[in-house]
C-alpha cells in the first residue's frame, strides 16, 4: 500500500492526479480482507513498539495476561487485548505527570501540546511529536481530498484555536492539502458578526466548525442583512458534536448555505480525528481503517458487534508514535455497516454518524432518548428559533423531561406561540414516542455558543421553577 510504514514517512510533495477520486487509490479501495491482513501486521508492530516504550501498556497487558507475541489474528486482538478508558489516561497522567507513562517518545521531542479543558476533573494533556503532526496533516489532507477539496481551495476554519484539537487538525490538513487556509477561529465577543462579513468578502470554498455554530452564523448573517448562500461555500465539514449526519440538522444547514454537508470526527485523543469521516459521494462516516483501526463494540462486553448493530466505537492508532491509543473506548454510540459505498472505498461505515455519548442518554418513561434526536426534531420545525434547553429531573423513579424552546420572531409577532407549542408536542410524540412539557420563549432569549452546544440541564431547581411557570400559564 502507498506510504504504508511505521513510523510513517510521508512524501510531503506528493499529490494525486487532480481528477482522481482517491489520494491513495490502493489503500482506499483494496479488498477489505486484504487490508485486514495488513492491519494485523501493523498492529503487531505497534504492539511491540508500545510494549517496549510505554510502561502503561506493559503493566496493563501483563496484568491481563497478554503479551504482544500472542497477537496472531484480529480475533486475538478483540478477545485478548484489554480496552483503555479515559479514566485510565487521567490516572496515568496523575501518576506520571504531565503526559503519562504512555508517552513513547522523549519529552523533548514533543512538538504540540493540546488537551481537554479539565472543567469536569483533571485535564488530559495530548503530547504530539513533530513526526506525528506531519502524519496527522497527511491523513487529514487525504480525507479532505475525499471530501472533494483540492489544492488552491479556500478553507475557513471557524472553531476555537486553543487546546481544542479540532481547529488545529483541520488547519494542518488544509495546509498539507495546499489549500488557502482562512483560520478565523471563534469565541471572542463580536467574532460571529465579523466572521459573516469575512465569509461574504472571501467566499471560501469550504467551511469547518460545529453544526451548532454554522446555524448560529446563519442567524447572525440575517441580522447583518447577508444571505449565507451568497458566501458561495461548496463544502461544509463538521466535527465536535452530533448533527452533520442527522437529516434534520444536516439538511437545514445544506438548505441555508446551498452547500454539501459532510460529517467527521472521532476523539481528540485519536488525532488524526478525521479517521471517521464522510466523502463527497458517501454520507455518514467512513471508518478509514488504515489510519486508525475502528471497532464497534458492545459497551458491556467490549466484544465487536455484528455489522448493522449499535455499539460504542473503540479506536486503535496505526501511525501515532508519541501517545499511541490502543483499544481506547470512545463512550459514544453509533451503528456500523459494511456494504458497498458510493465512493468506491472499501471501508466500514457509520451511516448515521455518532448519535451522542452513551452517558448523555436519558430514559423518559421507559424510552431511551439522546439529545441529538431532540435537536434534529426541532430543526425540522419551521418556527424553531434556533436554540433550546433540555431540562431533566431525576427526583422521581423515572426521569422527567421539560423543553425550553425558542420560537422565531414571526411566530411571536403573529401570536402563534401556542400553535408552535402544539407542533413541538406532536413532533416529539411522533419521533420519540413520548409526551413532554414545553415552554416556548422569545427569540435570542437562550444564550448562544461559539463552540459545542451544551443543551442538557440536570437541575432539579430549574425543573421545579419551569414546571411551575408552565402550570401557571395553563391557568
Cβ(323)–Cβ(126) below 8 Å: yes
Closest listed residue to residue 237, CA positions, set 216, 206, 213, 283 = 206
Cβ(260)–Cβ(276) below 8 Å: no
Q: How far is CA 223 from the centre of its chain?
A: 29
Give the pLDDT confidence score for residue 394 in this predicted structure.
62
CA angle (11, 128, 155) in 5-degree steps: 60
Distances (CA, A) of 331 to 84, 240, 422: 11, 14, 35
Give the pLDDT confidence score for residue 123 in this predicted structure.
85
Give the pLDDT confidence score for residue 296 in this predicted structure.
98
Phi-psi region of 151 (alpha: psi -120 to 50; beta: other; left: phi over 0): beta
Give the pLDDT confidence score for residue 117 in this predicted structure.
63
Whole-angstrom distance, CA of residue 196 vs CA of residue 396: 46
Query: How would DSSP label each residue in 82-145?
Result: PPB-HHHHHHHHHHSTTT-TT--S-GGGEEEEEE---TTSS--EEEEEHHHHHHHHHHHHHHHH
Helix axes 247-257, 211-223, angle to 10 degrees: 40
Give the pLDDT confidence score for residue 89 in this predicted structure.
96
Cβ(435)–Cβ(425) below 8 Å: yes
- Overall size of the chain counted in residues: 475
CA-based torsion, 28, 34, 35, 36: positive or negative: positive
Residue with cell 463544502: 235
Q: What are phi and psi of 292, to 5 degrees?
A: -135, 130
Give the pLDDT confidence score for residue 189 in this predicted structure.
75
Closest listed residue to residue 134, CA positions, set 33, 234, 271, 305 = 271
Residue with cell 496484568: 63
Residue with cell 482522481: 20
Give the pLDDT confidence score for residue 434 in this predicted structure.
80
Query: How would DSSP label each residue in 421-450?
Result: HHHHHHHHHHHHS---EEEEE-TT-S---S
Coil vs helix vs strand at 36: helix
The pTM (predicted TM-score) of the whole model is 0.84
Give the pLDDT confidence score for residue 456 in this predicted structure.
79
Whole-angstrom distance, CA of residue 379 vs CA of residue 372: 11
Q: Average pLDDT across each block of 10 residues of the chain; the chain has 475 residues. List them in order.
A: 93 96 98 97 98 98 97 96 96 96 97 78 90 98 98 96 93 98 84 94 97 92 96 97 89 96 96 98 98 96 96 97 98 96 98 88 75 88 92 66 91 91 92 86 85 68 55 59
1-356, which class in CATH?
Answer: alpha beta
Cβ(393)–Cβ(411) below 8 Å: no
Residue with cell 451568497: 230
The edge-to-edge listing of strands for the beta sheet with 456-458 is 437-441, 400-407, 384-393, 456-458
- DSSP for residue 163: S
Give the pLDDT confidence score for residue 470 in this predicted structure.
56
Domain boundaries, the chain: 1-356, 361-474
Give the pLDDT confidence score for residue 471 in this predicted structure.
60
For domain 361-474, the CATH superfamily is ANL, C-terminal domain (3.30.300.30)
Beta strands in 307-432 (DSSP E): 310-317, 326-329, 332-335, 349-350, 354-357, 362-364, 367-369, 384-393, 400-407
Amino acid at each position: 500500500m502507498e506510504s504504508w510504514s511505521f513510523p510513517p514517512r510521508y512524501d510531503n510533495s506528493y499529490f494525486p492526479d487532480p481528477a482522481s477520486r482517491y489520494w491513495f487509490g490502493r489503500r482506499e479501495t483494496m479488498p477489505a480482507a486484504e487490508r485486514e491482513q495488513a492491519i494485523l501486521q501493523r498492529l503487531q508492530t505497534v504492539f511491540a513498539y508500545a510494549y517496549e516504550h510505554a510502561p502503561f501498556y506493559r503493566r496493563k497487558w501483563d496484568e491481563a495476561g497478554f503479551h504482544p507475541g500472542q497477537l496472531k489474528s484480529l480475533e486475538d486482538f478483540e478477545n485478548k487485548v484489554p480496552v483503555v478508558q479515559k479514566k485510565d489516561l487521567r490516572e496515568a497522567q496523575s501518576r506520571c505527570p504531565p503526559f503519562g507513562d504512555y508517552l513513547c517518545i522523549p519529552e523533548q521531542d514533543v512538538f504540540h501540546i493540546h488537551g481537554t479543558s479539565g472543567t469536569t476533573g483533571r485535564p488530559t494533556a495530548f503530547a504530539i511529536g513533530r513526526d506525528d503532526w506531519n502524519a496527522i496533516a497527511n491523513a487529514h489532507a487525504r480525507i479532505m481530498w475525499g471530501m472533494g477539496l483540492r489544492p488552491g481551495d479556500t478553507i475557513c476554519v471557524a472553531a476555537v484555536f486553543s487546546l481544542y484539537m479540532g481547529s488545529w487538525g483541520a488547519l494542518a490538513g488544509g495546509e498539507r492539502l495546499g489549500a488557502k487556509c482562512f483560520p478565523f477561529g471563534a469565541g471572542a465577543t463580536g467574532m460571529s458578526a465579523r466572521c459573516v462579513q469575512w465569509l461574504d468578502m472571501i467566499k471560501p470554498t469550504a467551511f469547518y466548525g460545529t453544526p451548532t455554530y454554522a446555524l448560529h452564523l446563519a442567524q447572525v448573517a440575517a441580522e447583518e442583512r447577508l444571505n449565507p448562500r451568497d458566501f458561495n461555500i461548496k463544502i461544509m465539514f463538521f466535527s465536535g458534536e452530533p448533527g452533520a449526519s442527522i437529516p434534520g440538522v444536516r439538511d437545514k444547514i445544506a438548505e441555508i448555505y446551498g452547500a454539501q454537508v459532510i460529517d467527521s470526527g472521532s476523539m481528540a485523543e485519536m488525532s488524526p480525528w478525521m479517521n471517521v469521516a464522510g466523502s463527497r459521494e458517501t454520507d455518514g462516516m467512513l471508518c478509514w481503517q488504515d489510519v486508525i483501526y475502528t471497532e464497534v463494540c458492545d459497551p458491556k462486553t467490549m466484544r465487536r458487534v455484528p455489522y448493522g448493530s449499535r455499539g460504542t466505537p473503540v479506536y486503535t492508532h496505526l501511525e501515532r508514535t508519541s501517545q499511541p491509543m490502543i483499544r481506547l473506548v470512545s463512550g459514544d454510540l453509533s451503528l456500523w455497516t459494511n456494504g458497498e459505498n458510493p465512493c468506491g472505498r472499501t471501508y466500514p461505515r457509520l451511516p448515521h454518524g455518532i448519535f451522542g455519548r452513551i452517558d448523555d442518554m436519558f430514559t423518559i418513561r421507559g424510552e431511551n432518548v439522546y439529545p441529538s434526536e431532540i435537536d434534529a426534531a426541532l430543526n425540522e420545525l419551521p418556527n424553531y428559533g434556533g436554540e433550546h434547553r433540555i431540562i431533566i429531573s431525576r427526583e422521581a423513579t423515572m426521569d422527567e423531561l421539560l423543553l425550553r424552546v425558542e420560537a422565531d420572531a414571526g411566530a411571536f409577532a403573529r401570536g402563534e406561540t401556542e400553535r408552535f407549542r402544539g407542533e413541538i408536542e406532536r413532533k416529539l410524540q411522533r419521533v420519540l414516542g413520548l409526551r413532554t412539557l414545553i415552554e416556548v420563549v422569545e427569540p435570542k432569549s437562550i444564550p448562544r455558543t461559539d463552540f459545542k452546544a451544551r443543551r442538557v440541564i440536570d437541575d432539579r431547581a430549574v425543573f421545579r421553577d419551569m414546571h411551575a411557570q408552565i402550570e401557571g400559564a395553563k391557568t
